Chain A
Amino acid sequence: MLRFVLRRCILVLPSLFGLLLVTFLLIRVVPSDPAMALAGDAATPEQIERLRQQYGLDRPIWEQFAVYVGKVATLDLGESAFSRRPVAVDIAQRLPATLALTFCALAISVFVGVPLGVIAGLTHNAWPDYLLRVFSVLGIAVAAFWFAIMLQLLFSMELGWLPLRGELSPTMQRPPRVTGFMVVDALIAGRFDVFTDALRHLVLPAVTLSLGGLATIVRFTRAGVLDTLQQDFVFYERAMGYRRRRLVWIYVLRNSVTATVTQIGLLFGGLIAGGVVVEAIFDWPGIGSYTVQAILTGDRQVMLAVTLLVGTVYAVVNILIDLVHGLLDPRLMERA
């Protein structure tokens, strides 16, 4: 298994290099001028020219790429033209917020979606199945921002149960930064008020973000369960007197989630993309707004770094997904 992971990790490197190269070239198609972005709105042409030389933007593109790759290899992601802070610092500050949101959303999708999918599969063509099928179509069709605003109206405005936006109340004092994950740092600092507050802030964005994935997971789990129920071994297990609950939730489920797990890997990309909208609506201080800002301001270093980061996360997640597949189904591990 270790060899399997190692081999997958090594295979990822060329893809990331390719991703970087393509992004590096694509970004140059856009006419925005990084030196101008660096200099700011009120800059004179002389200021801009000076910056162009300073940052090597007057060098040939291959030289620029080589320099960039060399820097990336030492984890130097350059400097944001917008914030003029090291991109690595900006990303390190923001990534935990995005990851926390993404994983919470994923957890909701999985822990709610899988059981609902199983129920739909078990009640095939009866009313719970119909209801869940309508739900899963809606879940994909409903726009995230509409759903988000409805949640805000209900839970923040009408009921006043949950905060409208942000990751922490403005009156809360931030706990010292250790992991960057607000919820974890609050616990480390022993600040339970901050912990609860941060958790409350997570609910609405995570639920919003989970919606699309939830629907997908319900659909795929349902299909998987229906397929598994057709298998001979289910009849055999029933004939052998397996307890019904254990039969469904252990023996059938594990055979049914292969496609679902694959979907989770694909969903992860969607979650990061969907996070842009959700982070914007809920003013969540993650990677999303940073990326949008970078695109709007032509901040090349940030665009490159975020592409690389998302590519890496995606690759890591998919290695994990393969591992999970292997754990779920030993036949796959042997084949690989």
Chain B
Amino acid sequence: MSGPVLGRRKAGALVAGAAIAGTVAAGTLRTASAADASTFVSGFGLPANLDPHQVYDVPMQAMMLNAYDNLYRYQNDPPQIVPWLAESHTVTPDGLVWEFKLRSGIKFHDGSPMTSEDVVYSFRRMLALGLAPAGAFLKILKPESVTAVDPLTVRFKLETAYAPFFAAIPSISIVNPRMIEPNVKSGDWGKSWLASNGAGSGSYRIVPAGYRPLEYLDMEIFDDHFMGWAHNPKPVRKLACRPTRETSTRVLALLNGSLDCTDNNLPADQVAQINASKIAYVQKDMVMRIFIIRMNNTKPPFDNLNARLCFAHAFNYMGFINDILGGYATRDPYPMPDNLWGIPKDAKGYDYDLKKAKEYYAKAVAQGAPMKRPVELHVQSENEQSVQGAQLFQSDLAQIGINMKVVGNIWSNLTAAAAKPDTTPDMWVHWVSTYFVDPENWVGQMYDSQFHGTWKASAYYKNPEVDTLLRKARTTIKQEDREPLYQEAIRKIMADSPDIWVYNSMQLQGLNKRVKGRRFCTVGQGAEMRWITLDG
């Protein structure tokens, strides 16, 4: 959400100019001007604050994978959920009671051992705060239903069966009550203290006073991490997070060796220049992050299926992906990442076809849909690529006689507007990232009508059959039983064409060539530092 002050394209053009000026210096570029062999300078974005129970987004995932641990964790690419603090778990056949067995000998950063009581404290704290990461749990888990069976066993008793519960377990960090409790102020669960401090057990610990929101975060290695360091004989000792704001600065810092990695949103037009350098390269990874053009299904003409189909055929998907994104994305016609289970592979998406669009236009008009009404498409102004995509859409729509206006807006205004059908724009664009690896994260929360009022469900799509299927899938435990339900729901949703699904992201990250051992997982996006070692 934090946008560069310069547009991407402008900055890109500048950097391109800079590259020309810099070719003279290409041979003499000074390397490693800031970092030494034990300090990793990271350009990942920082979370809004450091409390993993208050914030849950991509930057927080990157931070908490290093500073905190969770019961289970996503690893590898494609993501697999693997035992982490817990060595195993059991679930009753009705899906209501879950028990997790902790490993023994786990230590927090203060040296104190982790017990099931700490896990209970962590979940209760998360529920009591009721903030972002609690979204998946608030309806199904009461604080008193999280209990310690014995020092190494935690029991969760759910209110209703909820299959994504397990998929969401990695989103909850286990915190150390012995560090938090002394800092509690008037029953705030240590909220203001933990926002700027660390109380975890992760492979890196937060250096006291080494944090300023959005600006910097200093961490140092935790030698006693429960997973040990046998997998990595020469780990990074110090981690200096120094997020960059402008693309040009980001690329220059990478090229002069003062930054070991950029964030994952490197614009496509920077790839060639970075790959041409001796010091850095661009890593491309498929992630689960889909890009959608939302339609407000309550507002005419979008309440008409033919009108929606008309719009769905008027977007030049491949032109956008190839020309504007430089090919760094895959066409994803589904309301979900195409690399996740639950996709009906037989279902066909919609293609760019202005002839068909015109036919649907005529049909919609015949049914009385006000296709002549000027419509608005709201974009996040700071994202140059989505603005360009919107303009591409605008020119195609103009060809078939639809008057669409592109309106610049900001994320916070858009999510607020999306809280009610009448304030939700005709159309707007956004991404849906991986909060947990489960269809519930996408199709479940986007098209079940019970989520109307949240930005994820801002199409205001309502189909009782789909509601039934999604709710059933939510309460069914086994993945093989859930999969056909999602496939069926998605087929129906796609037939209704409530939104325009565009692509699944490929993320681009600039890396210094001295960075070795990086392992990628779509959750955390390669920010897990325990694997990494620095050459030289």
Contact = CB atoms under 8 A, between A and B. Distances in A.
Contacts of A83: 48-49, 195, 213-214
A76 interface: no
B215 interface: yes
Contacts of B33: 160, 163-164
A283 B245 contact: yes
A85 B252 contact: no
B54 A84 contact: yes
Interface in B40-54: 41, 48-49, 51, 54
A146 interface: yes
A160 B31 CA distance: 10
Interface stretch (A245-253, A263-271, A274-282, A312-320): A274-282
B132 A157 contact: no
Contacts of A156: 252, 256
A310 interface: no
Given A86-B192, A153-B18, A177-B209, A298 B416 contact: yes
A43 B215 contact: no
Interface stretch (B64-72, B287-295, B406-414): B406-414
B453 A45 contact: yes
A333 interface: no
Interface stretch (B2-10, B118-126, B331-339, B358-366): B2-10
A84 B134 contact: no
B204 to A, nearest CB: 14
B39 interface: yes
A292 interface: yes
A82 B1 CA distance: 11
Contacts of B326: none
Interface residues of A, number: 61
Contact of A165 (B3, B57, B196, B249): B249
B382 interface: yes
A125 B149 CA distance: 90
A46 B238 CA distance: 41
B55 interface: yes
Nearest to A160: B30
A156 B252 CA distance: 9
B22 A153 contact: yes
A2 interface: no
Contact of B256 (A45, A157, A169): A157
Nearest to A177: B209
A295 B410 contact: yes
Contacts of B29: 157
List 5 A-B pairs, minimum CB-CB distance, nearest first.
A40-B132, A298-B412, A170-B240, A285-B215, A33-B416
Interface of B: 1-6, 14-15, 18, 21-22, 24-25, 28-30, 33-36, 39, 41, 48-49, 51, 54-57, 130-136, 138-139, 191-192, 195-196, 209-210, 212-216, 238, 240, 242-246, 248-249, 252-253, 255-256, 258, 382, 410-413, 415-417, 419, 423, 435, 451, 453-455
18 contacts: A30-B413, A32-B413, A32-B416, A33-B416, A39-B131, A40-B55, A43-B131, A82-B48, A84-B49, A86-B192, A146-B14, A149-B18, A149-B252, A163-B34, A165-B253, A170-B242, A283-B215, A296-B3
